[in-house]
Amino acid sequence: MFYEVAKRDHGLPHDPFKALVAPRPIGWISTASAKGEINLSPYSFFNAVSDQPPMVAFASQGRKDALTFIEETGEFVCNLATFELRDAVNETSAPLARGESEMTLAGLTPAPSRLVKPPRVAEAPAALECRHLQTVPLTPLSGAEARYFLVVGEVVAIHIDERFIVEGLVDTAAMRPITRAATATISWRLPTRASP
């Protein structure tokens, strides 16, 4: 089949785009506001974008709390979302009021980070401490106002649960990371609210 995105003439019940860029890792981003309010949210428009130095990026649909907090304080943490923590990951996508912590809502334990202020999720087997580099508004070809904002950060410190270091290598599979499969395939996916 062939379709033009602008015409949306794919004839399928869901737009297949996200079924074709899959799976997408989930950045489970913890942030702190200038006042010290905590936010934790999953982002599947997320990935590592470089190493030496390591950098990650995620895209926020609109200016959500994570983006606002990062711009206030310049720091964030990417926690590894795992199968064991899948329900908590989903719960932390709740659109809580600024100042209400999704970490508390989901019954997670904040653990102190070493180089940045936002706490990491103690239950997560790995976490990347990051400093904000830039936010890029994703302006479309049409010139319409950007709906998404790409947040890029440099990873400055990394936590790995020692239980997952085996013979000098990280046993990623044993951590059971979860990914966003797609919205238009028949594969297993997180039961989520409508979200990217």
Ligand X SMILES: Cc1cc2nc3c(=O)[nH]c(=O)nc-3n(C[C@H](O)[C@H](O)[C@H](O)COP(=O)(O)O)c2cc1C
Least gap, CB of 88 to ligand X (angstroms): 11
Q: Which two tokens stand for residue 91?
A: 């719960």
Non-local (6+) Cβ contacts of 86 within 8 A are: 178, 190
Nearer to ligand X, 22 or 96 (CB): 96
Residue nearest to ligand X (CB): 41
Nearer to ligand X, 36 or 165 (CB): 36
Nearer to ligand X, 82 or 93 (CB): 93
Least gap, CB of 29 to ligand X (angstroms): 8
Cα–Cα–Cα angle for 43, 118, 106, rounded to 5 degrees: 60
Q: Which two tokens stand for residue 40?
A: 């934790």
Least gap, CB of 127 to ligand X (angstroms): 17
Nearer to ligand X, 135 or 195 (CB): 195
Q: Where are the alpha helices (DSSP H) in the chain?
A: 17-20, 65-73, 86-91, 102-105, 172-175
Least gap, CB of 39 to ligand X (angstroms): 5
Q: Contact at 8 Å (CB) between 177 and 142?
A: no
Nearer to ligand X, 126 or 181 (CB): 181
Which residues here bind ligand X, judged by CB under 6 A? 26, 39, 41-45, 59-61, 64-66, 90, 93, 95-96, 180, 190, 192, 195-196
Least gap, CB of 60 to ligand X (angstroms): 4
Q: Which two tokens stand for residue 74?
A: 């310049």
Amino acid at 53: P
- Rounded to an integer, what distance in angstroms lies between the CA atom of residue 118 and that of residue 30? 6
